[in-house]
Amino acid sequence: MPKTPIEKCATCQGQGEVSGITGPEDCPDCGGLGQLPSALTLTERRLREIEGSCARQGGQVELDIRWLVDQVRRSRHVLVQILAAGQDAEPQDALASRVHFLANGVLGVYPVDTK
């Protein structure tokens, strides 16, 4: 299967740098590459940001967010395993193809041809 097309970073317009207080800095969204990382990487980055911001609040909010983030990570891990199993299945296996398609729809690992 083909890889997902590389998407140009909208924050830095593909340049990899943004203006900062002390001059040019690496773009925080693409890490200075000018291209957005995969959907899996972007999701994990956002989960870490949410964890970090809620960790400062402490108490029940922190515990709830930790639980929720853990559930999201576990679900994504299972979907990756399902995606891999779908790739290993025989091409004529319609059920495996459908499951593979559905898992990819959530993960966004491969582009979907909408023709």
- Token readout for 9 is 């970073």
Give domain limits for the chain. Answer: 59-108
Q: What is the mean pLDDT of residues 4-17?
A: 80
Q: Please give the pLDDT value at position 78.
A: 92
Q: What pLDDT, in 10s, does the model give residues 23-49? A: 899 988 888 888 888 888 888 988 998
Q: Cβ of 61: how many Cβ atoms within 10 Å?
A: 12
Question: Three-state DSSP class for 35?
Answer: strand
DSSP string, 54-79: HHTT-HHHHHHHHHHHHHHHHHHHHH
In percent, how much of the chain has pLDDT > 70? 92
Structure tokens at 21: 């207080």
User: Residues 51, 55, 56, CA angle at the centre, nearest 5°?
Assistant: 130
Q: If DSSP codes are grouped into helix, strand and coil, which group holds residue 23?
A: strand
Q: What is the mean pLDDT of residues 60-64?
A: 88
- Residue 109 predicted with pLDDT over 90: no
Alpha-carbon gap, residue 16 to 53, rounded angstroms: 25
Give the pLDDT confidence score for residue 115 in this predicted structure. 61
The per-residue pLDDT for 53 is: 86
